[in-house]
Amino acid sequence: MNGSAGPGEQVRALVGLHLALERRTGEALLVVAPFGAVALLLLPMAVGTDIPLLRQVGPGFYWLVVLLFGVMLTVRHTAEDGPGAQALLAQCGVDPVARAVARVVADAVLLLAFQLVLAPVAVALYDPRIPGWPWLFAVLPLVAIGLAALGALAGAVSSGAPGRALLGPLLVLPLAVPLLLGATQVIEAARYARAPWPWLLLMGLAELLALLATLLTAPSLEETE
């Protein structure tokens, strides 16, 4: 990879690098996903075995687990995040914006896969009644892209800071509240035959702001590293 490659080619190469490292380590689907499934299994113990109640709170539990474990995926340390790898990419003339976009795209793919792996577990455990389930085809990618953008922004801001492993989640979780609220309320709106568009717009706006902040701050953050 070098600076003569266009931004699109740089993004594709970096996304391939991110996903190749994930295939090698299996961190997202072989480590984090089983812990998420266990969390879904343990949460009903806090509310008992009331089947109607579990059906009602099941979607909320699912999105809460997606948020908490999704943050772990987006702010985790990876080989390409190290100072040496970042310096090498900078010397090769890789655009910092292309790096940020590639990080968002790769993490969004992993987060979407993570959600799809956990969804059957949640259905099996909670047996939720969701008349408007087709809306999930809009909600799942919105949550994945939004969390990926927030994770990329938090990772860049906290790069090189002491306690980065703790600082990243603390930065992402408060900013991800609109995604959690929107995802749960879209399901509730569909359940009661209400239009979910306001909640989808809220999620889209939060995602757009996160993406803009990530892209606008990437060059300045690159200079300070």
Q: What is the DSSP letter of 103?
A: H
Identity of residue 196: P
- The number of folded domains in the chain is 1
Mean predicted confidence (pLDDT) in 168-197: 84
- Sign of the CA dihedral 204, 184, 102, 170? positive
The answer to whether residue 112 is domain-embedded is: yes
CB 211 within 8 Å of CB 107: no
Instruction: Read off the pLDDT of residues 62-81 as tens digits, 9 standing for 90 and up.
Output: 999 999 888 888 877 544 45
Residues 6+ apart with CB under 8 A from 105: 11, 15, 148
Predicted pLDDT of residue 109 = 93
The answer on pLDDT for 54 being more than 50 is yes
The answer to whether residue 1 is domain-embedded is: no
Predicted pLDDT of residue 178 = 92
**What is the token pair recorded at 18?**
């991110």
Residues 6+ apart with CB under 8 A from 3: 92, 93, 94
The answer to whether residue 105 is domain-embedded is: yes
> pTM score, two decimals?
0.85
Instruction: Read off the pLDDT of residues 101-131 as tens digits, 9 standing for 90 and up.
Output: 888 999 999 999 999 999 999 988 888 877 7
Show the domain range for 210: 7-224
Angle, alpha carbons 89-216-21 (nearest 5°): 35
The answer to whether residue 2 is domain-embedded is: no
Predicted pLDDT of residue 145 = 94
Of residues 202 and 22, more confidence is placed in: 202
The answer to whether residue 116 is domain-embedded is: yes
Highest-confidence segment of 11-20, 112-121, 151-160, 214-223: 112-121
The answer to whether residue 161 is domain-embedded is: yes
